[in-house]
Chain A
Amino acid sequence: DIVMTQSPDSLAVSLGERATINCKSSQTVLSSSNNMNYLAWYQHKPGQPPKLLISWASTRDSGVPDRFTGSGSGTSFTLTISSLQAEDVAVYYCQQYFSFPGTFGQGTKLEIK
């Protein structure tokens, strides 16, 4: 299975500041046939279901604010929150779906400094 490793495990950022979460895969998740990265990001707040933020490494799901940006390719990916809001406090997960079975990162806990 592809191993997904996120960094850092936890992160504290001031309101209005940028938050950056990294995700690395043990093998490429870039398809040579369609040049797509098979990588998703989720946000998980306490007491709520996980929420899909981004798929295909950089495509925001419907209704996701544009302060959330996914980038990267191959084995290295980043989720950036451009201006942290209080409601962004959550655990964030990356997931690869290039190889079966899909695998998830261990999560990054984002808090307010």
Chain B
Amino acid sequence: QVQLQESGPGLVKPSETLSLICSVSGGSITSSTYYWGWIRQPPGKGMEWIANFYYGGNPYYNPSLKSRVTISTDTSENQFSLRLTSVTAADTAVYYCARRSDAYGDFYDYWGHGTLVTVSS
């Protein structure tokens, strides 16, 4: 069974760059069957879709974050990463990585537990 695990700093200073890694086990991120994505949930608010990709294709980014977000992969480690630049307090959230297995619908069947990132000086 596929498992996803987020990791990264829990505290980032304003204006700096947030970097998170999603480690995947039980499935390969290079499989063309799946998309892999990032979703976040600010405290007390609803979830926000950030970005996704499938291996070998172009990534998709939320237009509201597109200028600051980058997804990358490390196939040797079966990991993918999120990079969010110029963070502010509004980027404080629990960040989840997740897998999409449906070819036509952008919903997610496996999620990580999430990692809280606080933006504060």
Do A and B assemble together?
yes
* A residues with CB within 8 A of B: 4, 38, 40, 47-52, 55-56, 61, 93, 95, 97, 100-107
A101 — which chain B residues lie within 8 A by C-beta?
A: 49, 60, 62-64
What separation, in Å, do the CA atoms of A95 and B105 have in the docked complex?
11
The interface of chain B, by Cβ under 8 A from chain A, is 4, 45-49, 60, 62-64, 96, 98, 102, 105-114
Q: How many whole Å from A60's CB to the nearest CB in chain B? A: 12
Min C-beta distance of B52 to chain A, whole Å: 9
List, sorted by A's number, 13 A–B pairs whose CB atoms are closer than 8 Å: A49-B96, A49-B113, A56-B105, A61-B109, A95-B47, A97-B106, A97-B107, A100-B60, A100-B106, A101-B49, A101-B62, A101-B63, A104-B46
Chain B at the A interface: SS class: loop
Instruction: Report chain B residues within 8 Å CB of A103.
Output: 48-49
Residue of A with least CB distance to B50: A101
Contact in complex: B45, A49 (CB < 8 Å): no
Pick from A50, A61, A105: contact of B96, CB below 8 A. A50
B residues less than 8 Å from A51 (CB atoms)? 111
Write the chain A residue with the least CB distance to B113: A49
Known: A49-B112, A49-B114, A50-B96. A102 touches B107 (CB 8 A): yes
Q: How far is the CA of A52 from the CA of B96 in the complex (A)?
A: 14
* Complex Cα gap A47–B63 (Å): 30
Q: Which chain B residues lie closer than 8 Å to A100 at the CB level?
A: 60, 106
Q: Least Cβ distance of A9 to chain B in Å?
A: 11
In the complex, what residues of A have CB within 8 A of residue B113's CB?
A: 47-49
Give bound CA distance, A15 to B113, whole Å.
Answer: 27
Instruction: Provide the bound-state CA to CA distance between A40 and B100, in Å.
Output: 12
Whether A97 pairs with B48 at a CB distance below 8 angstroms is: no
Which residues of B lie under 8 Å from residue A102 when comparing CB positions?
Answer: 49, 106-107
**B101 CB to closest chain A CB, in angstroms?**
10
Question: Contact partner of B47 among A52, A56, A61, A104, CB < 8 A?
Answer: A104
